[in-house]
Structure 1
């Protein structure tokens, strides 16, 4: 399965010049824990960083930094870990584990933002697949019972 099939295509983005307060408002409004920082390049919106709720808490709130004085570019993770939309789900999961990230921007063929994939998205897919496997066993038992009648 390719990650482009399961990633969330509705990605909230923001400019690196936006304030952290704007990011927090976007997170609250959309009930999300991350915002992708993008810039326009070659006519496409390309991801250049990510800000998570954890970044805000650990880097700013815990250090008692006045949020009104900080821009997104000051806090965003600069070493953005990404994956192409046609990457294999399990390879991407391993890659995320190696890099220690819970969320990964998904790129289109031109390096533009295609979507975002989270560990929760992967868990949801795996849960459905495991449920399907359990159904196979139950159906096999039922088939065996009905063939004996």
Structure 2
């Protein structure tokens, strides 16, 4: 699993994006609709930041910002660590662990977002691997 390419992990999976002028409330609604704990913030289809649940709680709610009147660009994380789709998934997990974050945007060589990895993707991959192992074991049991 750690050697699988990120492109294989995300496999064209859609991900939420928004623009810098979106309000924090609107961003939270988009995240709810997508069942995502993060949203990529773009400007002219280039990644400029990421807004996570932590950003909303710590930078907006805890600072008494009005979510309906605060632009997501004021609370988002800027200078986001990102990774290319041709890198191993294990490298992304290492970057997330070392940086202490749970999400990492996947961008192409032009800075355009092509996906969003989350730490829980490791569990999803492990689950798939485990499912395949169980199927193989059942096949072997039938043969024996």
Q: Same fold (TM over 0.5)?
A: yes
How many residue pairs get matched? 140
User: Which one of the candidate residues 29, 33, 46 is aligned to 2:37?
Assistant: 33
Aligned-pair Cα RMSD in Å: 1.9
Structure 2 vs 1, CA of residues 141 and 81 (structure 1 numbering), >3 Å: closer, same or farther?
Answer: same
Tell me the CA shift for residue 141 of structure 1.
Answer: 5.0
Tell me the distance in 1 between the aligned counterparts of 2:13 and 2:128: 20
Instruction: Show the 5 A alignment for 1:69-108.
Output: 69-108=69-108
User: Which one of the candidate residues 6, 17, 21 is aligned to 1:3?
Assistant: 6
String of CA shifts for 1:46-97, please: whole Å, max 9, x gaps: 1110011221112221232222331111100013011101111112211211
Tell me the distance in 2 between the aligned counterparts of 1:82 and 1:9: 17
Tell me the CA shift for residue 20 of structure 1.
Answer: 1.1
Tell me the distance in 1 between the aligned counterparts of 2:95 and 2:66: 35
Tell me the distance in 1 between the aligned counterparts of 2:13 and 2:140: 37
TM-score scaled to structure 1, two decimals? 0.81
Q: Which residue of 2 aligns with 1:147?
A: none
Give the number of the structure whose alpha-carbon radius of gyration is greater.
1
Tell me the distance in 2 between the aligned counterparts of 1:132 and 1:15: 40
Tell me the distance in 2 between the aligned counterparts of 1:52 and 1:139: 43
Tell me the distance in 2 between the aligned counterparts of 1:50 and 1:91: 20
Please say if residues 47 and 113 of structure 2, whose CA atoms lie closer than 8 Å, have aligned partners that are also in contact.
yes
Deviates more, 1:4-13 or 1:87-96: 4-13
Instruction: Show the 5 A alignment for 1:1-149.
Output: 1-7=4-10, 9-40=13-44, 45-137=45-137, 139-144=139-144
Structure 2 vs 1, CA of residues 85 and 141 (structure 1 numbering), >3 Å: closer, same or farther?
Answer: same
